[in-house]
Chains A and B, each alone.
Chain A
């Protein structure tokens, strides 16, 4: 399928569906026409077309209705959907993908636990088989958007007698099931983006299992690789992204400029620009069908840069204030709608969420550079015998 054919499809679709009509009906029809994510297979919101043609669709449909609360869809679109597509049964794909894409059903991620962060595979939430059901008990943490979510992607331990990576199973968790309790976790910014989720005797039918029993680690890798790509996506325009509000303020406030700040800002500007170019090069490689390992590094670069730029911003403005400490549930991360203090504090999470920068450096070192791993003392030990 090429650009012209995609354009024809869009034109035919628009001839039959009025963008001025009901928003949800329009979005459902767009999914059914294969114009949701064109690189997905036919019948699942796509056309089996090359991924770069998605931008053609987005351009052609730029002025048509969008999903509400786009920020809340990120986990569903970026993490749950590719995992369901890769490992789901036909029935699961049919049930979950359309309402996920239209935004009718919000998704969250039940991976991390108080005792399992960077070492996710050591997680302790148990799922025990009971006939056609699984009974889940445990505690999850850092769950963004859990309070809005209809579904969650969940990794739980189904076999404690084998080494940690082998005893995991991946599920879709019904967030409305009895025994699911969501409590907000207040962050250093004052608000609560994420939650702790307590799972007590939650019963999930076996139809909600994604992939084979014991194969949860492999399924989770698909989710995590997609998360890092999503978090690492950068600005397309020179001078765009996180440095833009700083440069704007710099131009507006000559009275705040110093020589020291000037040198540092130029260094940050240059690093922002080479990072942007590197992202542009990566996108070109992907479009040409030659994905390089560079993607693994993008999140690392952006985390460092965002922290440096937002810290600089606050210092440059000599701003001792803060816009709002109120404890409230936030719908999504709003870097540009909030003040510089919020940006600085929120950016601290960039090197922790979705894999800490330390873990990502290990991944780059081992998978890209081929360096040997550290000796692993827990590799061949049954999970139940690990010190905790």
Chain B
């Protein structure tokens, strides 16, 4: 087990980063978020040419047979770019739910020919996996509603966990609602006696735990962009005839933020290489807060320009706040740690 990045991971990182720098600069994301948020052309290149969609899928099922550590590096880069692509929802959550079933759909997802979404609320957590969902199955047909589902609006296939089983559904009502996070919209999914295929068994809590551990890497990427962008700005911006980054009031805040980000990197790497309940809970309770704090500091230290729609920092703030809530809040994860590491509450 290592907390460092391997050479293969660094190569993967640089190909993803180069592509995103070219095709997905913050200005481009900002331009499309209100009309057509998902960049499916970019997704096609990422999934098909770079092959990120199949990282978690074993080679014999048509994937790359990589590990969570490679996936984590891709998520860092996608977080840095707040890239509006369904990697986390399709290639991480939905794929991880399908893996134990070894369903043929995995091959199609791996090639990027189709995209799936796991129909759980993004507010669900490993500790409350059915939050926001009320779906029942009757005679092979699904009925009910799940709110706050991420990635459902771009999915060809919906994977719905009901009572320990996973069902594949094509053709349900997916209604996009205005979302705080513009770059990862959420939708309300409604089933009205929808035709469903039982794919196999599904431990939703385990899938969400796996996702939560990797979400920490996306949060690291968000925090890094905020720190880097703010550093560049305070070196450039002059007030009182000197760069504002030369004032200790600003330097000390950024030094503290850097320390938080350094620790977020260690926590993310640890959760990627050891996805145990403790590692995941530690990474989420730390990194969610660091991403949010980094975005809030970025906004404040950009002054008035940080408050404008035209500057992309708000995309990162919204992503950071949404992922603080997604898959368990930091408080949820700390509460879980109480029993995991034997620090019990008052009796």
Interface residues of A (CB under 8 A from B): 238-239, 247, 250-251, 254, 257-259, 262-263, 265-267, 269-271, 273-275, 277-278, 280-281, 284-285, 288, 290, 294, 297, 300-301, 358, 360-362, 364-366, 368-375
- B334 & A239 in contact (Cβ 8 Å cutoff): no
- B235 & A370 in contact (Cβ 8 Å cutoff): yes
Chief secondary structure at chain B's binding surface: helix
Top 9 nearest A-B pairs by Cβ distance?
A365-B251, A277-B266, A281-B3, A361-B255, A278-B266, A364-B255, A372-B246, A274-B263, A257-B346
Q: Is B32 an interface residue (CB 8 A)?
A: no
Q: Is B243 an interface residue (CB 8 A)?
A: yes
Separation of A263 and B343 alpha carbons in the complex (Å): 10
**Contacts beyond the supplied A251-B343, A257-B345, A257-B346: 7 A-B pairs with Cβ under 8 Å:** A257-B344, A266-B335, A288-B4, A362-B251, A365-B255, A369-B231, A375-B246
Given contacts A301-B263, A369-B254, contact A362 B248 (CB under 8 A): yes
Interface size on B, residues (CB 8 A): 44
- B343 & A277 in contact (Cβ 8 Å cutoff): no
A-B contact pairs, 6 of them (CB 8 A): A254-B346, A263-B331, A266-B338, A271-B286, A278-B262, A372-B246
Given contacts A274-B263, A281-B3, A365-B252, contact A269 B343 (CB under 8 A): yes
- A250 & B343 in contact (Cβ 8 Å cutoff): yes
8 Å CB interface, B35-68 against A: none
- B259 & A371 in contact (Cβ 8 Å cutoff): no
Separation of A258 and B346 alpha carbons in the complex (Å): 5
Q: Which residues of chain A are within 8 angstroms of B347 by Cβ–Cβ distance?
A: 254, 257
Given contacts A281-B4, A361-B251, A371-B251, contact A262 B338 (CB under 8 A): yes
User: How far in angstroms is the closest Cβ of chain B from A346?
Assistant: 23
- A297 & B235 in contact (Cβ 8 Å cutoff): no
User: How far in angstroms is the closest Cβ of chain B from A388?
Assistant: 22
By CB atoms of chain B within 10 A, which of A258, A265, A281, A285 has the most?
A281
- B346 & A262 in contact (Cβ 8 Å cutoff): yes
- B246 & A373 in contact (Cβ 8 Å cutoff): yes
- B242 & A375 in contact (Cβ 8 Å cutoff): yes
Given contacts A274-B264, A274-B282, contact A285 B4 (CB under 8 A): yes
- B262 & A297 in contact (Cβ 8 Å cutoff): yes
By CB atoms of chain B within 10 A, which of A258, A265, A361 has the most?
A361
Q: Which residues of chain A are within 8 angstroms of B248 by Cβ–Cβ distance?
A: 358, 361-362, 374
Closest to A270 in B: B285
Q: Is B206 an interface residue (CB 8 A)?
A: no
- A277 & B242 in contact (Cβ 8 Å cutoff): no
User: How far in angstroms is the closest Cβ of chain A from B188?
Assistant: 33
- A259 & B251 in contact (Cβ 8 Å cutoff): no
Separation of A372 and B231 alpha carbons in the complex (Å): 11
Separation of A374 and B252 alpha carbons in the complex (Å): 12
8 Å CB interface, B307-347 against A: 331, 334-335, 337-338, 341-347
User: How far in angstroms is the closest Cβ of chain A from B339?
Assistant: 11
- A284 & B3 in contact (Cβ 8 Å cutoff): yes
Separation of A271 and B334 alpha carbons in the complex (Å): 11
Q: Is B256 an interface residue (CB 8 A)?
A: yes
Q: Which residues of chain B are within 8 angstroms of A297 by Cβ–Cβ distance?
A: 255, 258-259, 262
